[in-house]
């Protein structure tokens, strides 16, 4: 092995991914879109991978600037130049609507092979916010806010956020305590504390209960008001997080913050779940698949180049078994990901099962695969300056938690399966294999995810052999 282990740095993540290219060719993806993906794959494996590694060094992590030199509050997150460049490059690569959903998801999968990197969460949230405004925004909101989200030259590219979780708990959004009061001029003012606020950029969507109502409504909150002054949103502190460290996660307090309601007040929770959170959960699946893929590639490269007992480590039975296990998880997971994209595009009721199921199954599979890859690297697997794996492992556990824990999402899978059309459509993907009826909760989900992957692998076997 050479002195410097380079791993997959410098690869074209798209061109090296043969099943992905085969899928695109089967669905007759337009040539120009495939070319865009090839360019993006090169960007991810090359420039972005290097910039992200630089941005993730302890001394380059985001910092909170509370005041300017004159002592005025600015509540600004300062990102290092490599992080800003990453965000600018990603946003300039066609990652938001109206770029087709499948293309955006493939790009999310590719960029996550660099780890969360301070860009992937920001991308998911900006995508969710753009989708929300496109579907539910007024003409004025679309005109004013979509250009802000799409501007790669703004102060913080990929600038969208979603602040829902509060101190008393994130899983039960209807327990939110933040309040919204209508001011005499017709604008809304928010008060309350949001406890996990990732990527506090120029605009975010948030939840609060309008005065006199027990329902949660949705609001857009800009960091700055029309006259350029700061909105009454104070960043109390940055969280000391162990994963996804490239993007800041903060505690934010609203002290009469000006906000615009989006969608009907009584539909806030439903709109939140169907647009914003749904988009984020699909991104979690894409991101986890990206981590899985990177874990496989790194483990393979390492095992081929590391000599143990006079031969490549890859030839040792235990290592070969580990590699095969990660490869099977990636191949099955990738087919499940393609199936989820298809179901969403076609409005297939199976999507209602697949989205929460992949949120649970794929994020867990990614954590397991990264850990397995670290075992292949052995001691070098935990060295932060040796490979991307330690960073991936910490990002992977966050993917398991945010946007809903396994326990919460398992409930969503079970609920979707109680709907006849969703159950039937999902069961059809299992090719007659029965759903495990002796398990519930997370165990049920993991077993159902494995059954799905196995069935999709069986179906794909003739094509792969050809």
Which one of 270, 301, 401, 447 is in contact with ligand FAD (CB under 6 A)?
A: 401
257: nearest Cα among 303, 295, 204: 204
Stretch that binds ligand FAD, among 5-13, 145-153, 362-370, 400-408 (CB under 6 A): 400-408
* Residue the block writes with tokens 């993991």: 446
Q: Report yes or no: 222 and 154 within 8 Å, Cβ to Cβ.
A: no
| Residue 249 binding ligand FAD, by CB under 6 A | yes
Q: Report yes or no: 87 and 119 within 8 Å, Cβ to Cβ.
A: yes
Which of left, alpha, beta for 169 (phi over 0: left; psi -120 to 50: alpha)? left
Task: Select 26 or 407, whichever has its Cβ closest to ligand FAD.
Answer: 407
| Residue 405 binding ligand FAD, by CB under 6 A | yes
Stretch that binds ligand FAD, among 148-156, 192-200, 291-299, 418-426 (CB under 6 A): 192-200
Query: Nearest approach, Cβ of 195 to ligand FAD (angstroms)?
Result: 7
* Rg over CA atoms, the chain: 22
Instruction: Classify residue 137 by its DSSP letter.
Output: -
Which residue minimizes CB distance to ligand FAD? 170
Taking the CB of residue 102, how many other CB atoms lie within 10 A of it? Answer: 18
| Residue 56 binding ligand FAD, by CB under 6 A | no
Task: Select 284 or 448, whichever has its Cβ closest to ligand FAD.
Answer: 284
Which one of 76, 196, 337, 426 is in contact with ligand FAD (CB under 6 A)?
A: 196
Which one of 408, 430, 433, 457 is in contact with ligand FAD (CB under 6 A)?
A: 408
Taking the CB of residue 170, how many other CB atoms lie within 10 A of it? Answer: 20
| Residue 165 binding ligand FAD, by CB under 6 A | yes
* CA 398 vs CA 131, 303, 407: distances in Å: 23, 27, 15
Task: Select 44 or 396, whichever has its Cβ closest to ligand FAD.
Answer: 396
Query: Nearest approach, Cβ of 247 to ligand FAD (angstroms)?
Result: 9
| Residue 440 binding ligand FAD, by CB under 6 A | no
Task: Select 200 or 333, whichever has its Cβ closest to ligand FAD.
Answer: 200
Q: Give one DSSP letter per residue of 257-300, joined into a string.
A: EEEEE-S-GGGHHHHIIIIIIHHHHHHHHHHHHHHHHHHHHHHH
Contacts of 211 (CB under 8 A, 6+ apart): 179, 180, 181, 182
Whole-angstrom Cα distance, residue 92 to residue 158? 10
Task: Select 36 or 281, whichever has its Cβ closest to ligand FAD.
Answer: 281
| Residue 447 binding ligand FAD, by CB under 6 A | no
Indicate the length of the chain as a whole number: 466
Contacts of 183 (CB under 8 A, 6+ apart): 189
Query: Nearest approach, Cβ of 295 to ligand FAD (angstroms)?
Result: 20
Which of left, alpha, beta for 125 (phi over 0: left; psi -120 to 50: alpha)? alpha
| Residue 332: its H or E element | helix 317-345
316: nearest Cα among 325, 304, 328: 304
| Residue 188 binding ligand FAD, by CB under 6 A | no
Task: Select 326 or 353, whichever has its Cβ closest to ligand FAD.
Answer: 353
Which one of 126, 162, 279, 399 is in contact with ligand FAD (CB under 6 A)?
A: 162
| Residue 203 binding ligand FAD, by CB under 6 A | no
| Residue 169 binding ligand FAD, by CB under 6 A | yes
Whole-angstrom Cα distance, residue 278 to residue 409? 11
| Residue 305 binding ligand FAD, by CB under 6 A | no
Stretch that binds ligand FAD, among 83-91, 191-199, 255-263, 354-362 (CB under 6 A): 191-199
| Residue 219 binding ligand FAD, by CB under 6 A | no
Beta strand pairing call for 217-222 and 203-210:
antiparallel
Two tokens at 66? Answer: 């509370």
| Residue 397 binding ligand FAD, by CB under 6 A | no
- The count of residues interacting with ligand FAD (CB under 6 A) is 22
Which one of 241, 320, 328, 457 is in contact with ligand FAD (CB under 6 A)?
A: 241
Task: Select 7 or 404, whichever has its Cβ closest to ligand FAD.
Answer: 404
* CA 256 vs CA 76, 128, 165, 233, 236: distances in Å: 18, 25, 18, 8, 15
| Residue 9 binding ligand FAD, by CB under 6 A | no
| Residue 277 binding ligand FAD, by CB under 6 A | no
Task: Select 238 or 296, whichever has its Cβ closest to ligand FAD.
Answer: 238
Give the distance, in angstroms, between the CA of residue 255 and the centroid of all CA atoms in the same chain: 30
Stretch that binds ligand FAD, among 23-31, 182-190, 227-235, 403-411 (CB under 6 A): 403-411
| Residue 244 binding ligand FAD, by CB under 6 A | yes
Query: Nearest approach, Cβ of 157 to ligand FAD (angstroms)?
Result: 17
Please tell me the number of Cα atoms within 13 Å of 21 on its side-chain side.
Answer: 12
Which one of 19, 97, 411, 436 is in contact with ligand FAD (CB under 6 A)?
A: 411
| Residue 269 binding ligand FAD, by CB under 6 A | no
Whole-angstrom Cα distance, residue 364 to residue 418? 24
Residues that bind ligand FAD (CB under 6 A): 162-165, 169-171, 196-198, 241, 244, 249, 398, 401-405, 407-408, 411
């Amino acid at each position: 092995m050479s002195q410097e282990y380079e791993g997959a740095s410098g690869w074209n993540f798209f061109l090296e991914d043969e099943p992905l290219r085969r899928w695109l060719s089967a669905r007759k993806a337009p040539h120009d879109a495939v070319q865009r993906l090839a360019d993006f794959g090169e960007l991810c494996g090359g420039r972005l991978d290097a910039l992200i590694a630089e941005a993730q060094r302890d001394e380059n992590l985001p910092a909170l600037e509370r005041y300017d030199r004159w002592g005025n509050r600015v509540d600004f997150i300062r990102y290092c130049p490599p992080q800003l460049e990453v965000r600018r490059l990603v946003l300039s690569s066609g990652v938001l609507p109206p770029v087709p959903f499948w293309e955006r998801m493939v790009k999310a999968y590719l960029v996550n092979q660099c780890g969360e990197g301070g860009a992937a969460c920001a991308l998911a949230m900006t995508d969710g916010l753009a989708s929300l405004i496109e579907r539910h925004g007024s003409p004025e909101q679309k005109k004013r806010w979509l250009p802000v989200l799409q501007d790669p030259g703004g102060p913080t590219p990929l600038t969208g956020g979603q602040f829902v979780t509060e101190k008393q708990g994130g899983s039960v959004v209807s327990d939110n305590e933040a309040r919204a009061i209508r001011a005499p001029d017709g604008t809304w003012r928010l008060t309350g504390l949001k406890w996990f606020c990732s990527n506090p950029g120029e605009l975010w969507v948030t939840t609060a209960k309008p005065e006199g109502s027990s329902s949660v409504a949705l609001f857009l909150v800009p960091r700055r008001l029309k006259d350029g002054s700061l909105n009454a949103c104070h960043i109390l502190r940055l969280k000391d997080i162990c994963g996804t460290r490239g993007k800041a996660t903060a505690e934010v307090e609203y002290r009469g913050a000006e906000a615009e309601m989006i969608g009907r007040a009584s539909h806030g929770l439903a709109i939140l779940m169907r647009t914003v959170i749904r988009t984020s959960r699909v991104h979690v699946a894409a991101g986890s698949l990206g981590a899985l893929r990177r874990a496989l590639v790194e483990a393979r490269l390492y095992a081929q180049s590391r000599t143990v007992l006079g031969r490549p480590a890859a030839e040792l039975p235990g290592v070969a078994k580990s590699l095969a296990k990660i490869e099977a998880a990636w191949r099955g997971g990738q087919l499940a990901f393609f199936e989820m994209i298809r179901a969403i595009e076609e409005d297939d009721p199976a999507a209602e099962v697949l989205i929460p199921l992949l949120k649970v199954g794929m994020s867990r599979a990614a954590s397991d695969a990264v850990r397995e890859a670290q075992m292949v690297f052995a001691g070098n697997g935990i060295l932060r300056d040796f490979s991307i794996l330690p960073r991936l492992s910490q990002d992977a556990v966050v993917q398991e938690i945010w946007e809903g824990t396994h326990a919460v999402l398992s409930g969503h899978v079970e609920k979707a399966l109680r709907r006849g059309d969703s159950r039937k459509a999902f069961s059809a993907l299992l090719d007659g294999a029965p759903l495990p009826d002796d398990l519930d909760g997370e165990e049920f989900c993991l077993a159902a995810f494995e059954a799905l992957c196995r069935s999709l692998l069986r179906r794909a076997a003739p094509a792969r052999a050809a």
